[in-house]
Amino acid sequence: MPYLGSEDVVKELKKALCNPHIQADRLRYRNVIQRVIRYMTQGLDMSGVFMEMVKASATVDIVQKKLVYLYMCTYAPLKPDLALLAINTLCKDCSDPNPMVRGLALRSMCSLRMPGVQEYIQQPILNGLRDKASYVRRVAVLGCAKMHNLHGDSEVDGALVNELYSLLRDQDPIVVVNCLRSLEEILKQEGGVVINKPIAHHLLNRMSKLDQWGQAEVLNFLLRYQPRSEEELFDILNLLDSFLKSSSPGVVMGATKLFLILAKMFPHVQTDVLVRVKGPLLAACSSESRELCFVALCHVRQILHSLPGHFSSHYKKFFCSYSEPHYIKLQKVEVLCELVNDEDVQQVLEELRGYCTDVSADFAQAAIFAIGGIARTYTDQCVQILTELLGLRQEHITTVVVQTFRDLVWLCPQCTEAVCQALPGCEENIQDSEGKQALIWLLGVHGERIPNAPYVLEDFVENVKSETFPAVKMELLTALLRLFLSRPAECQDMLGRLLYYCIEEEKDMAVRDRGLFYYRLLLVGIDEVKRILCSPKSDPTLGLLEDPAERPVNSWASDFNTLVPVYGKAHWATISKCQGAERCDPELPKTSSFAASGPLIPEENKERVQELPDSGALMLVPNRQLTADYFEKTWLSLKVAHQQVLPWRGEFHPDTLQMALQVVNIQTIAMSRAGSRPWKAYLSAQDDTGCLFLTELLLEPGNSEMQISVKQNEARTETLNSFISVLETVIGTIEEIKS
């Protein structure tokens, strides 16, 4: 990253760093180094003074050391050859008498992100794990995770893992937690750190000694432990009881989740826990930290889905304060909607009504929609409030109120009369498409009860040429035709004009088609039109469908205290999928030498399969025989890349399968005897780029299907897909021969 003007600065700093006078004066020396760091922070390329900085690390001044190490960690990836020189100094510092220096040096060394550093850090880390100062042990334990991360694909070092497991018994609480973190990172592929009974009990006993971050994390790890008996389960719950009262919200939430998960068979325990965390959750909802407040509100909503009315007596806590940011106000309004009951409905509605006239149009509209939601249960009060809001004659309010009315009339037909009386005059204050559509729909469906309906629609017909939204025109066509059926005399003329316009002048195809459709329908006869257009005007049952049924606590317990309640389940799924894809990206082939898309094997035909290599897609190398040992080792180290189930019936001769596979250059490593259940076979194949495909075929007893798991030593989706289709074809063919 060349940065304009950095050359001069580098030159000057280099000179200063080399100056023996400055080197002799500690304060001045450190000041120069500080300047280097300052420029580095600002984005200037300071890698030019690397050598000089390495020299500066040989000092007794610990602050200077810290700065130099920081510098090294930043530029080591850029100057790996020079950084190797620094390692010597770092190694020496790792055996400094001062534990602070030892820890600092080890931490910095593990953070040098450059190739080949592993061989140098291994020994210092091992020494660090047995250091007598806990500060160094903390660093060394995390260093193990960093080292594993640098390797990337390296195998798990069993001895190191064992050492870390034994360090779980360390007397320093942070070392214990760091061990868990480190093991989790190293054993990620195998599903993370294993929490068995002794470890779980050990951790439970140490809980009170840990700091809040440690507690929160250990609670999360304990989720993996499944108590053996009911007695043990309740012992654990009793031990953890006090953590529900922790002053750290993270610990409270972690403990709550653990309770919910462990007590999944005991609904009354779950309810009891949720009652007890009510206080802490409410406190978090009014926390000074806005972000925390938001997260807490999201969790409150989650709980309300299962226990409606859980926070009812505290509804006032969810009233918005003037200075709160938008996102919190919107969440609070949602919560208020769900808390409404017979006792508080009056107060909640009054509060919401105050929000409807807020300066922020978004917030005001959200409040109006909220009232609309409450109106499904408390129709009369809400319709009255909404009607009053129309009197304000403000555009953003009117449009939302009319939309709310439309939805409400559909779900609660008993309010039709009131809505119809409120509507006249609204048309003057609606400009947007959504609002217009809602108004026109209401006028069309309930036009016989609104005296001036034809005249309002007439205005729309007059201005239809300047109407920009096609959706409004379509709505207008339907509404006018409906109104024509109930009030023909007033509408006939303008219906004619509208149809003429839509058919002759309108450019939007959908609108034109709709116009033509209605025209032809009218030609068939008025009775037919009535039969088709006059559908029911309301459907109260829809409300029941829309209201989500009470969800059991267990349906969301595993999402509690994750980001799922914050983002919503569906949204979070997409986000995490995107992140996963990004992470996989670098592993994709840089030079894909073949076009691997397209159907590879169109028919189940062995001859065709044999022709495959010529087609240039997937090229499996013949006679590539792996030893069983090598196969086993590779198999265990890889993740399953693809899993699939094929239908499979009856018996067959394994030799046939083996031969068929041989034809397409897939070798059989091992196979169960014919007829044995479960029946297993292990296959291997390699393509011309050296990519290995390892496969397991499995027939479970009593199951009429074959389970296929494929592992790949390089993650390449295209070749994997081709390989699987080859395999499918072969197995399909065998199945056919057999039957």
Partner 1 sequence: MSASAVFILDVKGKVFCEYFKELEEESIRDNFVIVYELLDELMDFGFPQTTDSKILQEYITQQSNKLETGKSRVPPTVTNAVSWRSEGIKYKKNEVFIDVIESVNLLVNANGSVLLSEIVGTIKLKVFLSGMPELRLGLNDRVLFELTGLSGSKNKSVELEDVKFHQCVRLSRFDNDRTISFIPPDGDFELMSYRLSTQVKPLIWIESVIEKFSHSRVEIMVKAKGQFKKQSVANGVEISVPVPSDADSPRFKTSVGSAKYVPERNVVIWSIKSFPGGKEYLMRAHFGLPSVEKEEVEGRPPIGVKFEIPYFTVSGIQVRYMKIIEKSGYQALPWVRYITQSGDYQLRTS
Restricted to residues 329-358, the positions that interact with partner 1 (CB under 8 A) are: 347, 350-351, 354, 358
Q: Judging by DSSP bridges, how do beta strands 705-712 and 640-647 pair with one another?
A: antiparallel
Which residue has tokens 């195809």?
Answer: 509
Tell me if 152 contacts partner 1 by CB under 8 A. no
Q: Is the CB of residue 727 less than 8 Å from the CB of residue 663?
A: no
Give me the least distance between CB of 198 and partner 1, in Å please.
22
Using the rule CB under 8 A, is 444 a contact of partner 1? no
Among 170, 217, 334, 427, binds partner 1 (CB under 8 A): 217
Instruction: Write down the least CB distance from residue 559 to partner 1, Å.
Output: 10
Cβ proximity to partner 1, 302 vs 725, nearer residue: 302
* Total chain residues near partner 1 (CB under 8 A): 80
Total residue length of the chain: 739
User: Interface with partner 1 by CB under 8 A: which range of 34-42, 119-127, 368-376, 512-520?
Assistant: 34-42
Contact 101, 119 (CB under 8 A): no
Nearer to partner 1, 241 or 528 (CB): 241
Chain residues 98-117 in contact with partner 1, contact rule CB under 8 A: 98-100, 107
Interface with partner 1, residue 221, by CB under 8 A: no
> Minimum distance between the CB of residue 358 and partner 1, rounded to whole angstroms?
7
Distance CA 644, CA 710 (A): 9
Nearest approach, Cβ of residue 148 and partner 1 (Å): 11
Q: How far is the CB of 507 from partner 1 (least distance, A)?
A: 36
In order, the DSSP letters of 125-189 are HHHHHT-SSHHHHHHHHHHHHHHHHHHSSPPP-HHHHHHHHHHTT-SSHHHHHHHHHHHHHHTGG
Among 125, 216, 420, 600, contact with partner 1 (rule: CB under 8 A)? 216
CA-based Rg of the chain, rounded to a whole angstrom?
Answer: 36
Residue 109 vs 412, nearer CB to partner 1: 109
Out of 307, 521, 566, 671, point to the residue binding partner 1 (CB under 8 A). 566
| Least distance to partner 1, CB of residue 178, Å | 7
Residue 470 in the binding site for partner 1 (CB under 8 A): no
Query: In angstroms, what CA-CA distances link 285 with 166, 291, 340?
Result: 41, 10, 18
CB of 669 to partner 1, least distance (A): 40
DSSP 113-132: --TT-HHHHHHHHHHHHT-S
Here the contacts of 459-462 (C-beta below 8 Å, separation 24 or greater) are: 459/427, 460/436, 461/494, 461/497, 461/498
**Rounded CA gap, 70 and 434, in Å?**
57
Q: Quick check: helix, strand or coil at residue 102?
A: helix
- Tell which one of 196, 229, 247, 468 touches partner 1 (CB under 8 A): 247
448 is an interface residue for partner 1 by CB under 8 A: no
Helix (H) or strand (E) segment spanning residue 403: helix 395-411
Binder of partner 1 out of 162, 242, 414, 421 (CB under 8 A):
242
Is 595 a binding residue for partner 1 by CB under 8 A? The answer is no
Residue 594 burial (C-beta neighbours within 10 Å; 0-12, 13-18, 19+): middle
Residue of the chain from 92, 130, 197, 209 that contacts partner 1 (CB under 8 A)? 209
CB of 567 vs partner 1, minimal distance in Å:
10
Question: Tokens 């008993």 belong to which residue?
Answer: 414
Identify the residue among 400, 412, 565, 708 touching partner 1 (CB under 8 A): 565
Residue whose token pair is 């217009």: 436
- In this complex, which beta carbon is closest to partner 1, that of residue 96 or of residue 513? 96
Q: Which is nearer to partner 1, 561 or 712 (CB)?
A: 561
255 binds partner 1 (CB under 8 A): no
Footprint of partner 1 on 608-637 (CB under 8 A): none
Q: How far apart are CA 180 and CA 221, in angstroms?
A: 8
Please state the closest distance from residue 557 (CB atom) to partner 1, in A.
15
Q: Residue 211 interacts with partner 1 (CB under 8 A)?
A: yes
Does position 253 bind partner 1 by CB under 8 A?
yes
563 is a contact residue toward partner 1 (CB under 8 A): yes
What 8-state DSSP symbol labels residue 507?
A: -
* CB-based contacts of 61, cutoff 8 Å, min separation 6: 26, 30
Would you say 661 and 609 are in contact if contact means Cβ atoms under 8 Å apart? no
CA distance 394 to 381: 21
Q: Which residues inside 128-147 make contact with partner 1, applying CB under 8 A?
A: 133-135, 138-139, 142, 145-146
246 vs 271 by CB, closer to partner 1: 246
Cβ-based burial of 718 (10 A; exposed 0-12, middle 13-18, buried ≥19) = middle
- CB of residue 15 to partner 1, shortest distance in Å: 22
Query: Cα torsion at 687, 688, 692, 694 (round to 10°)?
Result: 20
Q: How far is the CB of 601 from partner 1 (least distance, A)?
A: 46
Return the bridge partners of 692, or none.
Answer: 686
> Under rule CB under 8 A, which residues in 167-186 are in contact with partner 1?
171-174, 177-178, 181
Q: How far apart are the first and last CA of the chain?
A: 67
Site string for partner 1, 280-299 (x = CB under 8 A): x-xxx-x--x-xx--xx---
CA dist 719 and 617 (Å) reads: 8
For residue 333, the tally of other CB atoms under 10 A from its CB is 23
Q: Which is nearer to partner 1, 118 or 689 (CB)?
A: 118
Specify the residue, 350 or 493, whose C-beta has the smaller distance to partner 1: 350
Contact between 60 and partner 1 per CB under 8 A: yes
Using rule CB under 8 A, residue 37 touches partner 1: yes
Asked if residue 65 lies in contact with residue 94, where contact means CB atoms within 8 angstroms, the answer is no
Pick between residue 97 and residue 536 the one whose CB is nearest to partner 1. Answer: 97
Q: Which is nearer to partner 1, 229 or 247 (CB)?
A: 247
Query: Are the C-beta atoms of residues 335 and 311 closer than 8 Å to each other?
Result: yes
Site for partner 1 in 700-719 (CB under 8 A): none
Residue 227 DSSP symbol: -
Instruction: Identify which range of 114-122, 198-206, 251-259, 649-657 contacts partner 1 by CB under 8 A.
Output: 251-259
- 414: nearest Cα among 370, 376, 368, 453: 376
Report in angstroms how near the CB of residue 127 gets to partner 1 at its nearest.
17
Q: Compute CA distances 461 → 88, 346, 495, 688, whole Å.
A: 86, 42, 9, 70
Nearer to partner 1, 250 or 424 (CB): 250
Among 18, 58, 63, 737, which residue sits at the site for partner 1 (rule: CB under 8 A)?
Answer: 63
CB nearer to partner 1: give 296 or 415: 296
Q: What angle do helix axes 118-129 and 158-167 make, rounded to 10 degrees?
A: 30
Nearer to partner 1, 252 or 400 (CB): 252
Q: Which is nearer to partner 1, 206 or 514 (CB)?
A: 206
The enclosing H or E element of 80 equals: helix 80-93
Name the segment binding partner 1 (CB under 8 A); options: 17-25, 95-103, 152-160, 573-581: 95-103
Smallest gap, in angstroms, from Cβ of residue 738 to partner 1?
52
User: Which listed residue (19, 271, 562, 634) binds partner 1 by CB under 8 A?
Assistant: 562
- Using CB under 8 A as the binding rule, the residues of this chain from 640 to 659 that contact partner 1 are none
Judged by CB under 8 A, which of 23, 122, 246, 486 binds partner 1? 246
Q: Which is nearer to partner 1, 311 or 460 (CB)?
A: 311
